[in-house]
Structure 1
Amino acid sequence: MIRILAKMAENAAKRLKISDSGVTIGTHNGHFHADEALAVHMLRQLPTYTSASLVRTRDPALLATCHTVVDVGGEYDASQNRYDHHQRSFTTTFPGRPTKLSSAGLVYLHFGQALVANYLKQNEDSEDVSVVWRKIYESFIEALDAHDNGISAYDPDAIAAGGIEKRFSDGGFGLGAVVGRLNPNWNDDLPSDPVEAQAAEDARFETASKRIGEEFDRDLAYYTSAWLPARAIVQAAYAKRQEFDPEGRVMVLEGQSVPWKDHLYSLEEEQKTEDKKKVLYVLYPEKPTPDAKWRIQAVPVTQDSFQSRKALPEPWRGARDSALDEITGVPGGVFIHASGFIGGNKTFEGAKALADKACSF
């Protein structure tokens, strides 16, 4: 699978043809969006495009002189470095995902593995590169693709049928707004000279590209330097979970806590774990020292859910210290959160005893 994806996305370096005059990236002028702003940023992180100049125009003759064109031109042809998605015939999606790509998704599809590989200092066809490449698409790029193509995160008909109404405004803020709000307002004073007006607009675009790029760079840094190393630790803990509970319902992160939710759900899905054998509680030390207190955390139903698969027992909730010890019968209690999603004990043995009791409560 890794090699198939790598071949499909291609090694970016093989397609890049540098002219004597250097590399120019072309995109459209006028109102700008998050997808082309990020596409330009991502290209500029690659050696070939580090010093690339940018042309913002809709003039076909001028676009034809550009080395690479994104989000304009009505053509998708990776062999010619043309990455537009507005033509009616365009239906390309990222492997295994349903969302039609925008220019951000197209550039990431073809150059994302090179970006990740450069960051990890690994070959593009390595397993680590493939895992991070897919994860960043799903966690970051796909939202931009959907936003630009007018695809809702939820089925509007299903929401209407369920009578679900939004309780409050979130300000309309999302990845698209990071860029969109940097366009000029309708009543802003703009230069009367067309050349000056275009220069001012281009400057705004450069600011927007840098802004959305900073968010992308943060995600890239996180998933390569924190999320990926945590994956191996969670894999090891998941493999050992039956040492702590015969049904595998308790997972212990020995040594220190790491981001575990995403990896746990993936492992359960990959191994087709039965519902009755899915992890209910995760135990981990508060800090990587021998005298550390331990936490017990109920696994959420989903990554972002406030609902737990099995919250800690209701009689325990809100209790602390000796009062908690009396209720649970387990010494060393620190607290149980009022919602039952997390608690603490002074020792691993205490946290493990709480997990055992909670599993059978």
Structure 2
Amino acid sequence: MSSPEAKRLKTEAAKIGTHNGHFHADEALAVYMLRLLPSFNNAALLRTRDSAALETCDIIVDVSGVYDGTKHFDHHQRGFTETFSSSKQTKLSSAGLVYKHFGRAIIAQRLSLPEDHASVELLYQKLYTEFVEALDANDNGISAYPREIEPAFSTGGITLPSLIGAFNPNWNAPVDQAGEDALFEKASKFIGDVFSQKLEYYASAWLPAREFVVKALEERTKHDVDGRILVFEQSIPWKDHLFTLEAEEGITDEGKKPLYVLYGEGAGKPNWRIQCVPVSKDSFESRKPLPEAWRGFRDEELSKISGVPGGVFVHASGFIGGNTSYEGALAMAKKALEL
């Protein structure tokens, strides 16, 4: 979807409209994201439920009962079913609506690339899935788990929506409209800073890691004839990229999928890690855990049990281990493949 950002360029200061009263994370983020765009960078904010006053704004979020993708970005109206894409089921909030239409422009601006660049699209999809979608779900009352599952503890007080909610005036300490608007601006900056930090991380750290995963996949038969071992010089965010690239490249043969990832612990540190590839990106279950006989042992004891000198440790669950050298880590990985 092409952004209508270019159509919004004006010589006069733009104005964003949203509702007053109790505010939530979605409109707080929506307003922040709009202000990242050149045409809304210095936009004034009008918080009201007066329809006539709202219509004087250049863009209206989370109020008005209309979604048209140009000026009105509300999701409360009967019959609203908009999602981010055909592969998503989560109904959008005002944050998701603004991101859907303007996210590419925001990311392209950060990367100094055209909106249709492949890197912009990768980040656009990633940032929605990893950040914005959860806010959409929360605002629309969509649970992440089936209702019959009881959580072991409460996370309600540490979620972003709950933290934004805490910026609202206390029920027993009312403020006037100006005071309420000032609290909204603080809340918008708070959640916006988190959004910007996420974007910065994905742009400057996560995205550049992709080319290293591509290279490791290309060279994986150097370490194992079936390509079951990947090697990186240091720890990088590899999991997302590996699963994406496996799908893109049609790596479906279970006997030829990567099982172990080796990486150095960093500059000046000789130790190497051997980490198991999980069955899915967010799973704690490994495709092939390190041998049960090695688990929970360290140093000389581990070296003796494994038969590989330089052993440092193997985690009790078998998902990760370490050796004092690359050669030792590779030997552990090769042995583990046969056990």
TM-score class normalised by the smaller sequence: over 0.9
Aligned residue number for residue 249 of structure 2: 271
* SS of the residue 2:77 aligns to: coil
CA contact (8 A) 2:156 2:162 kept: no
Matched ranges for 1:30-69 at <5 A: 30-69=21-60
- Tell me if 1:180 matches 2:159: no
**Does structure 1 residue 16 correspond to structure 2 residue 11?**
no
Q: Give the AA of the match of 2:158.
A: F
Alignment equivalent of 2:293, drawn from 301, 308, 315:
315
8 A Cα contact 1:44 1:51, kept in partner: yes
Aligned counterparts, 1:2-151, within 5 A:
8=1, 10-18=2-10, 20=12, 22-79=13-70, 81-95=71-85, 96-151=87-142
Distance 2:28 2:83 in 1: 19
Q: Is the 8 A contact 1:26 1:55 kept in 2?
A: yes
- 2:72 maps to amino acid: R
Q: CA deviation at 1:148?
A: 0.9
Q: What is the identity, as a one-letter code, of the residue corresponding to 1:300?
A: P
CA distance in 1, matches of 2:63, 2:46: 12
CA RMSD of aligned residues (A): 1.7
- In the TM superposition, 1:328-347 aligns within 5 A as 328-347=306-325
Q: Distance in 1 between matches of 2:6 and 2:155?
A: 44
Structure 2 CA distance for aligned equivalents of residues 270 and 47 of structure 1: 35
- Per the TM alignment, residue 63 of structure 1 is displaced from its structure 2 partner at its CA by 0.5
CA gap of 1:178–1:278, structure 2 versus 1, over 3 A, is: farther
Query: Structure 1 stretch 91-100 or stretch 64-73: which is displaced more?
Result: 91-100
CA distance in 2, matches of 1:204, 1:258: 39
- 2:271 corresponds to 1:287: no
Moved more, 220-229 or 88-97: 88-97
Alignment of 1:155-170 (within 5 A): 155-156=146-147, 160=148, 164-170=149-155
Secondary structure at 1:245's aligned position in 2?
Answer: coil
Cα contact 2:157–2:163 (8 A) shared by 1: no
For the residue of structure 1 that corresponds to 2:88, the secondary structure is: coil
- Residue identity opposite 1:223 in structure 2: Y
SS of residue matched to 2:312: strand
2:230 alignment partner in structure 1: 251
Aligned amino acid, residue 200 of structure 1: G
- Report the equivalent of 1:232: 211
Give CA-to-partner distance per residue, 1:199-247, whole Å, 9 cap, x none: 1111111111011101101100000000000111111112222222222
Question: Cα deviations across residues 5-61 of structure 1 (Å, max 9, x unaligned)?
Answer: xxx2x23332205264x2110000111011100000001111111111000001010
- The letter of the residue matching 2:76 is H
SS at match of 2:194: helix
So what's the TM-score if we normalise by structure 1? 0.89
Could you tell me whether the CA contact under 8 Å between 1:316 and 1:336 is conserved in 2?
yes
Post-superposition Cα deviations, 1:293-327, rounded to whole Å, max 9, x if no partner, equal 21101122333333322221111112222211111
Distance 1:229 1:206 in 2: 33
Could you tell me whether the CA contact under 8 Å between 2:83 and 2:89 is conserved in 1? yes
Matches of 2:314 and 2:132, distance apart in 1: 38
Q: How far apart, CA to CA, are the structure 1 residues paired with 2:146 and 2:317?
A: 30
- What is the CA distance between 1:180 and its match in structure 2? 1.4
Compare 213-222 and 298-307 and name the one that shifted more: 298-307
1:178–1:211 contact (8 Å) kept in structure 2? no
Please state if 1:325 is matched with 2:303: yes
Poorly superposed stretches of 4+, deviation over 4 Å: none
Alignment: residue pair count: 337
- The letter for the 2-side match of 1:105 is G
Greater Cα offset, 308-317 or 170-179: 170-179
Q: 1:304 to 1:165 in 2, by over 3 A?
A: same
Q: Deviations over 1:111-168 (max 9, x none)?
A: 1111101111111110000110110000001111111111111232xxx2xxx43222
